[in-house]
Amino acid sequence: MKEPGAVGSSLELHLTDIAHGGAALGRHEGKVVFVPYAIPGEEVLVEIVEDKGRYAQGRLVEVLSHSPQRVQPLCPHFGSHACGGCHWQHIAYQTQLELKQRIVQDQLKRIGHFESVPVKPVLGSPEPWRYRNHVQFTLDEYGRLGFMGAESRQVVPIEECYIMHPLLDEIFAALDLELPELKRLSLRCGVNTGQKTVVFETYEDEPFELEVDLPVFCVFLLSDGRTATLIGQEYIIEILAGREYRISAPSFFQVNTPQAEELVRLVKSYLAPTGNEVLLDAYCGVGVFGLSLADEVGQVIGVEGSPSAVSDARFNAGPAGNVEFIEGKVEEVLPSLKASIDLAVLDPPRQGCASEALAALDRLAPTKIVYVSCDPAILARDTRRLVQAGYQLVEVQPVDMFPQTYHIESVALLRR
């Protein structure tokens, strides 16, 4: 018989909190046990599947006492042995928002060592389902489209997805693929324009024939990042906060369009330009934040490492004469930047800002920085570095870009 707490053993746990990563947690003989697909407050039967010394990973066997916030998941693919795209379909949406606020607070305190930073209630998505304007499928060994599994690196074939936008659902339902060389397939749409695109990636970069019966653009994405048009054009147009943006197949764009408009509103509100400032838009992507503020500042300098995104940003700027986009890694461009920067917005990828970028930002010394983050642990790390450089973390506003998942977008205001 296995000792309680050993790998393979089962034990009853009272769950007390939620962890960054989406699992609920409880304690057994002082050791933290993480339990996915559970909710704080529940009594559960758990099998220990991994022992890491200071903590353990558990598999939910049975819920002995249900939380009143537990709901029936909509998706048949949801769960520990299925698709890993969603983590919280079993939790009522309002509770998801409350848990996300708690996670941001905990990460700022535990990693950033902030004791009293105001973390505002999470701004919920107007549509907690059918919101994703971009999905990427991988193919299993039989050529079926799917997502990576929740607890494995195996592809789980899917028949429906409840967080995929209806415009993408139309394409997904009509797909009839016979491409043995296909590696990945992405669907993307402009929610406010109705434009749709399918992006194909193959193992050998070999061209292929294609027939379509829908009004959709088809793009071939090569392994070196270049694109080739198969049908239509290589980009879609989306309207965000009243402005048009071209988005090419390799370029980043937020997956939740209504909440992306909230991000724009928050960045404008926090920076509050008076008309003559120089604004740095670092990790600018296709130029959304900088261009949304171009009419309210003296100059915009955008920096972005993706060639396709920089090309899109320059196109999106149109005739604006006070906008400059620089292609290059932010940590390599900022140290040589000569401009006097008054305001800055940072929207780095999940891994956050390189230390060289933060050091250069300290030298440039903008009076306000707005940091847009998709990972509260990285937000806590980077804002602590900025505070050590002489900034005050004023407040953090989480925005739910990713309902039904544990992922959290946050907008933080720092003032020098």
The pairing of strands 31-35 and 55-65 is: parallel
Asked if 256 and 132 count as a contact pair (C-beta separation under 8 A), the reply is yes
Residue 189's SS3 state is strand
Could you tell me which residues come within 8 angstroms of residue 263 by beta carbon, excluding any fewer than 6 positions away?
A: 254, 289, 372, 399, 401, 409, 411
Residue 143's SS3 state is coil
Asked if 364 and 341 count as a contact pair (C-beta separation under 8 A), the reply is yes
What is the C-alpha to C-alpha distance for residues 131 and 194, in angstroms, rounded to an integer?
14
Structure tokens at 235: 């980009």
Torsion on CA atoms 230, 235, 236, 239, rounded to nearest 10: -170
Residue 376's closest CA among 115, 120, 100, 26?
Answer: 100
Distance of CA 164 to the CA centre of its chain: 15
Instruction: Let me know if 284 is a catalytic residue.
Output: no
Structure tokens at 152: 């494995």
Query: Taking the alpha carbons of 246, 248, 249, 253 in that order, is the dihedral positive or negative?
Result: negative
Torsion on CA atoms 280, 241, 252, 414, rounded to nearest 10: 40
What is the C-alpha to C-alpha distance for residues 133 and 261, in angstroms, rounded to an integer?
14
Structure tokens at 377: 């642990």
Candidate list 75, 189, 353, 374, residue with the active-site label: 374
List the 323-327 sheet strands across, edge first.
323-327, 299-304, 278-282, 343-346, 368-373, 409-415, 392-399
Which residues are known catalytic residues? 374
